[in-house]
Amino acid sequence: MYPPKFGYVIPDTIDEAVSFLKEHEDAKPLAGGHSLIPMLKLRIIRPSYLVEIRRLKELQYVRKEGGYYQIGALTTHYDVVKAGIPLLSDTAARIADPQVRNVGTIGGSVAHSDPAADYQAALIVMDSSVVVYGPKGSRTVNFADFVKDVFTPDLKQGELITEIKVRDFSGYRWAYKKLERKAGDFAIVGVAVLAKKDGDKVTDLRIGLTAVSNKGVRAMEAEKVLIDRTPTEDLIERAAETVMKSIEPPSDLRASSEYRKRAAKVLTRRALTELLR
């Protein structure tokens, strides 16, 4: 289907983009367009203007400072892969296919807040925050609070995501396990795990899931099963079982709720076995 008619604006600066968006209530920022254009074509949204931000160079960077990575909102998934960020780069590598990864951006994915987006699993366990810039200046929101519901980010008209911040988890081991119907598809379930050991003991463990709720979920009860313990096959099984019992995933065209629960258990067990045994 063709999209409805819209105006197209190419601002030179972030401030120009923000002020145009503020003045035009149903204008939408356009980053990679890999979620926005399909929504336009399906006529789910009918913006008056698209404001092309994707060429704003000042939002394309990855820096490391004070134990955190700062990632400009317009950094493509491919550039996130190349940055070698513990867990996040491996997660970005599992998004869709090379075409989507070359054009889609981390800021666009976070703003879109798709409950099945791959980043949701990693960002929920990485002490992440989202920097938002708007007519009233800049504010920083914890990632866990930023996604309010399905496709509902904490963004007001005129506000742009400028940066995603994640803690540097060097010294941890990590894995992102994704079950998909076919290569390049969205996750049926995705499980991101960060683990730290001291000798035989697990000193820190973080388990995040995508596609099992209205937003990314952190499985804290399951983490507690292994923290301060020496991992055994039994404990790993118990942790995976706890993940399964702690979620109530939706049923949709990709999978039933029951199938997702079981898949979450299997993927968690696989990730924990790989990282801890």
Ligand X SMILES: Cc1cc2nc3c(=O)[nH]c(=O)nc-3n(C[C@H](O)[C@H](O)[C@H](O)COP(=O)(O)OP(=O)(O)OC[C@H]3O[C@@H](n4cnc5c(N)ncnc54)[C@H](O)[C@@H]3O)c2cc1C
Residue 245: strand, helix, or coil? helix
Least distance to ligand X, CB of residue 155, Å: 6
Q: Which is nearer to ligand X, 51 or 225 (CB)?
A: 51
Contact residues: ligand X, CB under 6 A: 28-36, 38, 73, 95-96, 100, 104-105, 107-109, 111-112, 114, 117-118, 155, 160-161, 186
Give the position of tokens 């980053």: 31
Least distance to ligand X, CB of residue 267, Å: 15
Least distance to ligand X, CB of residue 261, Å: 21
Closest CA to 124 of 33, 60, 211, 252: 211
DSSP for 81-121, please give it: HHTT-TTHHHHHTTSS-HHHHHH-BHHHHHHHT-TT-THHH
Least distance to ligand X, CB of residue 160, Å: 4
Q: Are 74 and 107 in contact (CB under 8 A)?
A: yes
Helix 257-276 to helix 233-246 angle (10° resolution) is 150
Q: Are 151 and 39 in contact (CB under 8 A)?
A: no
Q: Which is nearer to ligand X, 216 or 231 (CB)?
A: 216
Q: Which is nearer to ligand X, 26 or 228 (CB)?
A: 26
